[in-house]
Structure 1
């Protein structure tokens, strides 16, 4: 595991990635490939930032639960019978067996190994044959419960109990999302646990990238959303937890399907301006949103290695859209185009990951149409630098 990047010089060089777009350069390839850097990144980002792990509508009823994992941490999210949404470690506090798999509805979580039983609050309520164990107290063996926030129906957790609240740090995104009413939107069951063999950052950058749209997806897939109509906010708050871009369209209510126009009901509160553009909102390191006039596509990225991650992919429509007798047929058309575009993106991402391993991979320069990549860097680099300073301070204390 390489730690050669743990130098002041390396982190000072990252500053060039947050310069103005006409001067900025990409992150070093090592940031996408190196196992040691991923271990550093887990502490710099994933142990401190808010992580999207799903949506409230995945667990609509009391007792509903689903499982997930990110950076090798197994998680169970449950709708408690008192109405509370709760996220916990699904690791039994006895011998580390997982107490939940998949999804379903339950009254308790029972470890299948030794039948320790936890309630939906994570409290241990039964531990068979432990009466002869000295100084064993059930109340000391609860499942760890994570700090949780719900934002527009998305469930976020934080492994850091002292983390600042998420919602106030997303104020810059509210004007972009407000009229989509995402909290009350509806959609079919998402496609979960899609495994990709490339870095989560490679996919996050691809999700942000308007520069490639009319090149890779040229023709009927994307030409009605020209890359040269991309716009980026001039300034975002320094402590923002998310960023966005917009992209004008050649016709009103453009959408990703073979007709190139909205098939589903248009979100009723959208303005004329919003119906003549698309928006892309990003909450690293886990959530990307693509907003069209009739659909919101969400991508939840769950890193599990330096060069791999899992994806939960879903789409949301205006409330009532699924009542349309033609919904299934329309959904097929939406999926047809989405899968075509996704196949092109995934193929490119796989090849980018191969290229990043090369001795000839270098730090490149950006087009103005890649402004969202600089936004991403502006989120990443200060967090990398802050953790490096923490490491140096801890080392100094230990001397």
Structure 2
């Protein structure tokens, strides 16, 4: 017999996860494994928060579009003839068929099932043979539109069109990332997605975890960024939409390749001091960033189940980098090293998910080098608390 996992005791227990790092413990394991909790989380987090779906450059001209899928919601992002980027449901309002797949360029979205046709702003333009349907009003069958905001070149959508703006709640994060000039950075659209069999929060926690770096990644590809040089901000506002850590490096212009140094052009906005560190930033629940002196690796996480998610992984470089005839070879140096490090992380993430299913899974205590985990919890727990209170009020 299956028992409900959501109750007052569960949410009260989460309060210990947002204590100061030296006192805090990890979230209850069922937050990473339970289908019931994932359904709760879809309302508590994904239905109300700003979700990264791609880059503004992925739809550069009128008629261009790309699609995404987050927490069971198919999404299409398209640039209209007026140059405005819009996001909408890609679910046809007739019988539920998707009107768009992949990416490309189009004059309109035509449902392949019954040829209902939608303009680039989601308006239903044609519905064949519906003239005998009583009370059918074409103007009320447009694709649902979502709120859209562009931050540092990344496209964010919100299913709640009345949601508070994103950028003001990212002031501290924006300040620390400003030297990288991501809005103007170069980077091709990722060619394909990866799907991983573990909870999206496991991935987020690993991506900003300084504690494991000198252990799991020990060796010449990572030793120049030791765990003991991790630093965590103590001035993030309570309503922040993201968080970060910085990590000092043993030499300037450190980068992930066999030379340990930048081989691509260094971002010109970096000061001498900033060239002696890396930055790791998370904008939950969808965007994770790793910033080196010559490249930004980004991961767009798209939850699709209690124990699985999809990832779009891409790289941004300084403007003009790709003009170098050796760019492809230099990028390959970086990605070979990054790939080895990422493979180590992926192996650990998969086994962490296995461990979290165990009846012996702990609520572990944190090292000071895991300050980012406490920052993540401090983002999550209030949202869980508020959603549970809404449910209880009915």
Answer yes or no: is the 8 Å Cα contact 1:244–1:280 preserved in 2: yes
- Alpha-carbon separation, structure 2, partners of 1:276 and 1:109: 48
**In 2: Cα distance, 1:266 partner to 1:347 partner:** 31
Find the counterpart in structure 1 of residue 212 from structure 2: 212
Matches within 5 A, 1:1-399: 4-394=4-394
What is the SS of the residue equivalent to 1:192? coil
SS in 1 for 2:371: helix
Cα deviations by residue, 1:71-115 (Å, 9 ceiling, x for unpaired): 111101111121100111001111111111111100100001111
CA-to-aligned-CA distance 1:204-235 (integer Å, 9 cap, x gap): 00001010011001011211000000000113
TM-score scaled by structure 2?
A: 0.98
CA deviation digits over 1:157-179, x for unaligned, max 9?
11112211111000111221111
- C-alpha distance in 2 between matches for 1:36 and 1:181: 41
Conserved in 2, the CA contact under 8 Å of 1:41 and 1:384?
yes
Any runs of at least 4 consecutive aligned residues in structure 1 with deviations exceeding 4 A, and if so which?
Answer: none
- 2:219 is paired with a residue of what secondary structure? coil
SS at match of 2:32: helix
Per-residue CA shift, 1:299-342, capped at 9, x if unaligned? 10000000000000000000000111001111111111111111
SS at match of 1:146: strand
User: Structure 1 residues 268, 391: CA separation in 2 closer, same or farther (over 3 Å shift)?
Assistant: same
- Contact conserved, 1:2 with 1:37, CA < 8 A, in 2? no
Query: How far has the Cα of 1:12 moved from its partner?
Result: 1.1
Structure 1: 5+ residue stretches without partners: 395-399
In 2: Cα distance, 1:332 partner to 1:245 partner: 27
2-structure distance, mates of 1:332, 1:233: 33
Given that 1:291 and 1:297 are in contact with CA atoms closer than 8 Å, whether structure 2 keeps it comes out as yes
Q: How far apart, in 2, do the equivalents of 1:189 and 1:223 lie? A: 30
Q: Within 2, Cα distance between the matches of 1:174 and 1:161?
A: 23
Determine the C-alpha separation between the residues in 2 that align with 1:7 and 1:94. Answer: 38
**SS of the counterpart of 1:172?**
helix
Question: Partners of 1:243 and 1:9 in 2: how far apart?
Answer: 28
Instruction: Tell me the equivalent position of 1:397.
Output: none
CA distance in 2, matches of 1:52, 1:291: 18
Which whole-Å CA distance do the structure 2 matches of 1:293 and 1:63 have between them?
35
Give the distance between the partners of 2:368 and 2:197, measured in 1 at CA: 29
Q: Over aligned residues, Cα RMSD in angstroms?
A: 1.1
Q: What is the distance in 2 between the residues matched to 1:189 and 1:329?
A: 18
Check whether the contact 1:2–1:36 (CA below 8 A) recurs between aligned residues.
no
SS of 2:192's equivalent? strand
The whole-number CA distance in structure 1 between the counterparts of 2:317 and 2:3 is: 46
Deviation at 1:191, TM superposition (A): 4.2
Task: Say if 1:275 and 1:293, in contact at 8 Å, map to a contact too.
Answer: yes
> CA offset at residue 4 of structure 1?
3.2
Distance apart, 1:2 and its partner CA: 5.8
SS at match of 1:183: helix
Name the CA distance, whole Å, in 2 between partners of 1:43 and 1:37: 10
Q: In structure 1, how many angstroms separate the alpha carbons of the residues matched to 2:191 and 2:339?
A: 12
The alignment of Structure 1 onto Structure 2 pairs a total of residues equal to 394
- TM normalised by structure 1 equals 0.97
- Structure 2: distance between partners of 1:77 and 1:330: 32
Provide the C-alpha distance between the structure 1 equivalents of 2:349 and 2:285, rounded to a whole number of angstroms: 17
